[in-house]
């Protein structure tokens, strides 16, 4: 049984300062704190005498200067991305050109499934559609980043091209697992089914300490990932219960589950609830009809 989920919001990012978090791993947090990025995006320098930069973050002159100061003239073999949401990738092309380094990531940004009729991709403006990798890194591949060897793990769910990177007993988990909050999943950019599959995958891997792209390290990553999965399953149950009690729209479900939350939280909740509803429909627990006015949601006969 998974332990109760407890989020850790006691994190001092030391924004713009290089923080040694492990041997061969330095964190520099970007100045882009928000309701969705927590204290900002964590960029990482991997290596010792030779480096790679993971998730350069937002296109911000201050953060570029902080990264270059921390790199301190050492050769950079690659700029690597966990995924192509702009809070991670907007600086990537500019930094790669400045350093003369190639871009490595899991392929161009893509949706987890095609758009439905009348559907809008709410994360379209937050995604880096035009960024093209010099090298596509793939699941299970071992790559040399700086003077370290890391293993690539495809972890779709938050978005389709999301990757995590394993080194020693550490997993650089990107936005897939974060200690400060649960991951935003918005269809069609992301997928709850893929997210569950990726959670199951990483908990079976031999990495103990997770270093996410927002917030502080997670000391027992697999246990936390199991708690996240249990939390999502609880949310599935709450959504089915809300529909059973008469909620027929995403807004009505959000109002039933998050009655006291602020607007930014409720906006993110609408996106994630929609992703859960799609997952539950695929599980034959809910029935969804689509129209110009949005979704109409009822219990599936087999599930009710």
Q: In this structure, are strands 76-80 and 51-54 parallel, antiparallel, or unpaired?
A: parallel
3-state secondary structure of 271: helix
DSSP one-letter code for 112: S
1: confidence class by pLDDT, cuts 50, 70, 90: low
Between helices 221-244 and 263-282, what is the axis angle to 10°?
80
Radius of gyration for the chain, computed over Cα atoms and rounded to the nearest angstrom: 20
51 pLDDT exceeds 70?
yes
- H/E element holding 222? helix 221-244
User: Which pTM value belongs to this model?
Assistant: 0.94
CA-to-CA distance for 214 and 177, rounded, in angstroms?
9
pLDDT tens sequence across 250-303: 999 999 998 877 777 778 889 999 999 999 999 999 999 987 777 899 998 744
Q: Which domains, ranges and CATH numbers included, belong to the chain? A: 19-230 (3.60.15.10), 234-303 (1.10.10.10)
Q: Which residues pair with 105 in a beta bridge?
A: 136
What percentage of the chain carries pLDDT values higher than 90? 87
Per-residue HEC secondary structure of 4-68 comes to CCCCCCCCCCCCCCCEEEECCEEEEECCCCECCCECCCEEEEEECCCEEEECCCCCCHHHHHHHH
pLDDT at position 118: 82
pLDDT tens sequence across 148-181: 999 999 999 999 999 999 999 999 999 999 999 9
Token digits for 155? Answer: 């972890």
pLDDT at position 235: 96
Segment 58-67 mean pLDDT = 98
Q: In this structure, are strands 103-105 and 135-136 parallel, antiparallel, or unpaired?
A: parallel
CB 178 within 8 A of CB 187: no
pLDDT tens sequence across 225-247: 999 999 999 999 999 999 999 99
Token digits for 269? Answer: 């909740």
Q: In this structure, are strands 294-299 and 148-154 parallel, antiparallel, or unpaired?
A: unpaired
Q: Average pLDDT, whole number, for the chain?
A: 94
304 pLDDT exceeds 70?
no
Q: How far is CA 271 from CA 12, 32, 266, 275, in A?
A: 29, 22, 9, 6
CB 46 within 8 A of CB 24: yes
Q: How many residues does the chain have?
A: 304
CA-CA-CA-CA torsion for 236, 241, 242, 247, nearest 10 degrees? 110
CA-to-CA distance for 196 and 60, rounded, in angstroms?
33
């Amino acid at each position: 049984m998974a332990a109760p989920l407890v989020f850790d919001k006691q994190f001092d990012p030391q924004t713009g300062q290089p923080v040694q978090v492990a041997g061969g791993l330095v964190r520099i947090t970007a100045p882009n704190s928000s309701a969705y990025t927590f204290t900002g995006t964590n960029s990482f320098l991997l290596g010792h005498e030779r480096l790679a930069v993971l998730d350069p973050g937002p296109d911000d002159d201050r953060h570029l200067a902080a990264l270059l100061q921390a790199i301190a003239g050492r050769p950079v073999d690659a700029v690597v991305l966990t995924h192509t949401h702009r809070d991670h990738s907007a600086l990537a092309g500019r930094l790669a050109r400045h350093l003369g380094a190639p871009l490595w990531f899991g392929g161009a940004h893509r949706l987890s499934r095609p758009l439905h009729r009348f559907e809008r991709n709410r994360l379209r403006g937050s995604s880096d559609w035009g960024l093209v990798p010099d090298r596509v890194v793939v699941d299970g591949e071992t790559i040399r980043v700086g003077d370290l060897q890391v293993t690539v793990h495809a972890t779709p769910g938050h978005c389709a091209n999301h990757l995590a990177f394993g080194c020693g007993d550490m997993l650089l988990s990107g936005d897939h697992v974060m200690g400060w909050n649960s991951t935003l999943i918005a269809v069609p950019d992301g997928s709850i089914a893929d997210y569950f599959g990726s959670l199951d995958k990483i908990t079976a891997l031999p990495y103990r300490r997770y270093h996410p792209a927002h917030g502080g390290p997670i000391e027992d990553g697999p246990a936390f990932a199991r708690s996240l999965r249990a939390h999502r399953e609880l949310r599935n149950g709450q959504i089915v219960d809300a529909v059973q009690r008469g909620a027929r729209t995403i807004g009505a479900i959000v109002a039933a589950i998050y009655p006291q939350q602020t607007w930014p939280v409720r906006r993110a909740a609408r996106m994630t609830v929609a992703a859960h509803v799609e997952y539950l429909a695929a599980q034959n627990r809910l029935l969804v009809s689509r129209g110009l006015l949005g979704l109409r949601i009822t219990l599936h006969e087999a599930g009710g």
